[in-house]
Amino acid sequence: MESKKSIIQSAVSTLELEAAAILNVAKNINDDFEKVVSTILQSEGRVIVTGIGKSAIIAQKIVATFNSTGTPAIFMHAADAIHGDLGMIQINDIIICLSKSGNTPEIKVLAPLLNNAGNKLIGMVGNLNSFLAQQADLILNASVEKEACPHNLAPTTSTTAQLALGDALAICLLECRKFNESDFAKYHPGGSLGKKLYLKARDLALTNEKPSIKPSASVKEVLIEISKNRLGAVAVIDDENRILGIITDGDIRRMLENNGNIATLKAEDIMGRNPKSIQHDALAVEALELIKFNNITQLLVLDQKTYFGIIHLHDLLNEGIV
């Protein structure tokens, strides 16, 4: 049984080896890398990413990153390619082939077929003297000195280098396309990430009631309105639907503590006169930041200068924004 110290040392050593490999890959970024980015940007087709073994798994991740950042991509397993899947490749598609050795049997069969079809072939390869490197139109150098595996066998450092190089490609393409948060939201509509990028304040406010009273309303009317709508607050508005203030549960408690006779009190006597608010077309995540910064639980939503609704902290929690 390995000691705790040796286990920790092994983990640290692995991460240090892989970090060093990524730094070495960065040093190998050259004109070919720039040409690969330019070729993809100018292409009217898709990017087909292929590989065998562990490289195939990394290829799938690169495809997923490409697709989510504005570069249409498809994964093709190198073994399946030579048994029918070559049919997925269209005339304008670009192929990126991942291989550490560049000399596997499947790659040796596949590369000439791709060249014969006239598609641009990019080799992400760890051996610059390999068959794949010789067949490729452009090369992405993913060479590493050794694997993190103590036997220098299991693909570890080499696949990390491929993964990092794929991310570098994706980010360069993203920046060249000026792919922004709105574009990102189109491809990530599900889950909390997507909601942070597209959900607006109005979307939340519209799911709630719209509690409001006039400044002359009695304390009883205030309590009824707050209880009826279950938002813990009510907006005080004028005849033109403009915000004059807000009354919260906390305001009610403070009123009861500080006043012996509440019969003559009106809404305007107990309302907060500088309520925090947000425009209805602002992102919900901006509403969250306002709520957190001001240490409040309700936020008024406006349409220009008029009252639109209320957002409660629970609305943001329910949507997974928090």
Please tell me whether 83 is known to bind a ligand.
no
Amino acid letter, residue 285: V
220: nearest Cα among 267, 271, 268: 267
Q: How far apart are CA 294 and CA 289, in angstroms?
A: 8
Q: How far apart are CA 291 and CA 259, in angstroms?
A: 29
23: nearest Cα among 166, 143, 139: 143
185: nearest Cα among 301, 284, 59, 100: 284
The CA-based dihedral angle spanning residues 58, 59, 60, 62, taken in that order and rounded to the nearest 10 degrees: 90
Amino acid letter, residue 202: R
Asked whether the beta carbons of 155 and 147 are under 8 A apart, the reply is yes
Residue 283 has phi, psi (to 5 degrees) of: -70, 150
In terms of DSSP bridges, do strands 47-51 and 94-99 run parallel, antiparallel, or are they unpaired?
A: parallel
DSSP SS3 for 71? coil
291: nearest Cα among 301, 304, 303: 301
DSSP letters of 147-169?
-SSTTS-SSSHHHHHHHHHHHHH
The alpha helices in 95-155, defined as continuous H runs, are 105-117, 131-135
Binding residues: 77
* Numbered residues of the known binding site for Zn(2+): 77
